[in-house]
Structure formats: structure tokens, C-alpha cells
Amino acid sequence: EKLNVVILFGGKSGEHDVSLESAASVYRAIDKDKYNIHTIGIAKNGKWAYCSCGPDEIQSGKWVEHEVEGSKINFIPSQKGSVGIELNDGSLVPVDVCFPVLHGPRGEDGTIQGLFEMAEIPYVGCKVLASSLAMDKIMFKKIMDFEGVPQVDYVYTTRFEFSDDPQGFADIAEERLRYPMFTKPANMGSSVGISKVGSRAELIEGVKNALEYDSKVVVEQGIRAREIEVAVLGNSEVEASVAGEIIPCKDFYDYEAKYLANESKTLIPAGIDKELENTIREMAIKAFKAIDGSGISRIDFFVEHESGTVYLNEINTMPGFTKISMYPKLWEATGVGYRELIDKLIKLAMEK
Ligand code: ATP
Ligand code: MG
Ligand code: MG
Ligand code: MG
């Protein structure tokens, strides 16, 4: 008996295109002898569609032309046994597990996870609380402060507070931090809306730009550091991969350096000694447990050049998942291949 797996992709967030790449990769690699694959796309305008398409159509964006006419997605049960995808003839495709290959707000932030909880459908990845905590950089930092996990210094503001007195906020930031600083939307990913700022004028511009994406903005102390990432896998028993290192082709790892320039490099294992690597792997598990994570996450760190100090940067609860993304590559280097990784994630989803 094959499990019915729904791959969800796209979404309204600024990471729509990244999701298409990740979802196409998952579709290509997933074991079709074990699973029936169904695909639900979410358009940039938020419209959901049950599609009859393969990985090529997902990747190219042509999936929108392949909606199964007359189909209805029933995730909120109106009567017993009605959860699934209803076809034109009234029959129901049952859904055994969802794989939300979605990045950013309304995909990685607990909202869609809440929908699955309501529908009582198992799903890959973190639950509601962990997803929303990891997506909101301000709440995440507060929890990590509470846990005593080292982080760079930061201040934050809201659209309401900032628009009232931008110079007042700049005063607070300059009192606490030195240039360069990083301005970030609290809820986003793929470096969308992030700027490195070197002056008061740039700081104010950077905050304004970040406010285009979210109503809250965090400003961090910019540091010169190596960028180290660890993949974790598991529910109550969590395993950490070997550490990998990002070598951005630009001044920092912005959207272009991540996806467009094609010249950023990854180094696996990272160029750090074993002892430091193990410290970082333990920190990764600690942080993941602190937010009550489950299934999957990629944990990002900085190791400061001058001091060697390790700082936790963030947790991504649905990291980039193409074959060449850091998360699968870290597991590959640790001995878990891409297809096997998908199997494990589905198994963890059913057990959660
Ligand atoms: P993703 O979810 O795709 O990993 P994101 O949008 O959540 O990214 P961050 O990981 O917080 O963004 O930051 C993106 C990049 O900006 C980092 O990988 C790093 O290159 C740079 N960066 C962010 N914060 C700092 C900082 N405080 N000091 C130095 N560099 C930073
Ligand atoms: Mg992130
Ligand atoms: Mg992310
Ligand atoms: Mg990151």
C-alpha cells in the first residue's frame, strides 16, 4: 500500500521561486515505488491549485497551467473522511502526509502547519510553535538569550515606532551597535530585504527597505566571520550533521550570491577544527530543542574572524532543499543520501 504524499510548493512569500526549485528536486528524487505523489501549487497571489504536473513544470512555473479542473482541496473536514482532494467525479484522493516545501512567511512560519494540525494530516518538519519562533528573528533571539546561546548584539523596531521617530531609533541603534550593521525584516528568508549598512543614512534606508517585507525589523551588529551551517534531523532524538561552510562570492551572502551569481562556494566539512565543529553541532541540537523543533532544520552560525567567538545566527525550519542545497549536502557528507533523507523525513512526520 503506497502512501499518498502531497508536495506543496510556491507560496506568496518572497521565496516563491526558491520553493519551486526545492520542490522539483524532491519530486525527482522521491521513491515512486513507495509513494503516490500529488502536487499542490500556491501561486504568488495566494491561490491554491491541485495540479497534474511533474518536476519540470514545477521548476519552470508552468504548473499553473496544469490545474486539475473541478478539483477541490478539502483540508478542513466538513464531514468524516472528507479530508483530501476531491476530484471532478466526486471521488476523494486521500492525503496521508504533506511535505510543505515552502520557504518564508505562510510556509515556514507555523501558519500552514496550523492548517495541517486542524486537518489532522501528518506533515514534514517543525510544528506550529517551532516554525513561528524560528521565522521571527526577534522572538527567536529572545528565546536564545534566555537559553544563554551566544548571539551578536541587536536592537529592533516596528513600523509604528519607527515611522514615528526614525532618528530616535537610529540613536538607539548607534548607542548599542557599531557600523556596519545588518537590517533585516523579522520574518523572511533567502536574505530578502536584508541590507548591510555603514552610516546613519544607510541605516534608515535599510530599516525602511526591511519594513517593505514585515512590520518588524531587527538591526544586528555586523561582524567579520566565517559562516558555518549544521543540519539537524529527528524528533525527540536529534542528530546533527557534519558542519559545512559558506563562502559567499559577494560582500555578504545576499539573494544574488545565494541563487543568481552561481559563484558562491560551499565547503564540506567546514574548514574548522574538530573540537570547534563538535561544539557547534552541540549548540545546533540545543537551539533546535529549545524551540521544540521536529523533523528538519538547518542551523546557521558565525565564527568571528578576530576572536574565534561562535555566534548562533538563525534556524531555518524548511531550508533550501535542492540536491545541491546545503541541507541535503550536509547529510550526504554525513552518510545519508538525498532519497533516503526524504524517506526519513516522511517517517519522522508520521511519528510526530
Ligand atoms: P536564509 O533563511 O536564506 O538562510 P535569511 O534571510 O534568514 O537567510 P540571514 O541568514 O539572517 O538571512 O542573513 C543572510 C546573510 O547575511 C548571512 O548568511 C550573512 O552572509 C549575512 N549576515 C547576516 N547577519 C550578519 C551579521 N550580523 N554579521 C555579518 N554578516 C551577516
Ligand atoms: Mg533564515
Ligand atoms: Mg530561510
Ligand atoms: Mg541564513
pLDDT digits (tens, 9 = 90+) for 147-195: 999 999 999 999 999 999 999 999 999 999 999 999 999 999 999 999 9
Q: What confidence tier does 81 reach under pLDDT thresholds 50, 70, 90?
A: confident
Per-residue pLDDT tens digits for 270-290: 999 999 999 999 999 999 999
The rounded Å distance from CA 109 to ligand 4 centre is: 15
Rounded CA separation 195/206 (Å): 6
The rounded Å distance from CA 188 to ligand 4 centre is: 10
Cell of 189: 528568508
Same fold, 133-150+224-351 and 154-221: no
Residue ranges lining ligand 1, Cβ < 6 Å: 152, 182, 184, 188-191, 194, 220-223, 225, 227, 248, 252-253, 300, 313-314, 316
Ligand nearest to the CA of 252: 1
CATH number for 3-123: choose from 2.30.40.10, 3.40.50.300, 3.40.50.20, 1.20.140.10. 3.40.50.20
Atom of ligand 1 nearest to the CA of 258: 3
Give, using CA atoms, the residue closest to atom 4 of ligand 1: 190
Rounded mean pLDDT, 310-325: 96
* Ligand 1 site-directed mutation target among 191, 250, 309, most atoms within 8 Å of CB: 191
The rounded Å distance from CA 91 to ligand 4 centre is: 43
CATH number for 154-221: choose from 2.40.160.210, 3.40.640.10, 3.30.1490.20, 3.40.50.12780. 3.30.1490.20
Cell of 209: 527597505
Query: Directed axis angle between helix 274-290 and helix 137-147, to 10°?
Result: 110
CATH class of 133-150+224-351: alpha beta
The count of other CB atoms within 10 Å of the CB of residue 186 is: 22
The rounded Å distance from CA 189 to ligand 2 centre is: 4
The rounded Å distance from CA 314 to ligand 2 centre is: 6
| pLDDT value at residue 260 | 86
**Where does 148-240 have alpha helices with state H?**
159-164, 166-176, 200-210
Give, using CA atoms, the residue closest to atom 20 of ligand 1: 253
The full set of domain ranges for the chain reads: 3-123, 133-150+224-351, 154-221
ipTM, interface predicted TM-score of the complex: 0.99
Per-residue pLDDT tens digits for 252-263: 999 999 988 888
Rounded mean pLDDT, 17-40: 97
Rounded CA separation 295/278 (Å): 21
Give, using CA atoms, the residue closest to atom 24 of ligand 1: 182
Percent of the chain exceeding pLDDT 70 equals: 100
Region for residue 165 given its phi and psi (left: phi exceeds 0; alpha: psi -120 to 50; beta: otherwise) = beta
Assign 137 to helix, strand or coil. helix
Ligand nearest to the CA of 181: 1
The rounded Å distance from CA 87 to ligand 1 centre is: 43
Atom of ligand 1 nearest to the CA of 311: 27
The rounded Å distance from CA 134 to ligand 2 centre is: 8
Rounded CA separation 281/344 (Å): 20
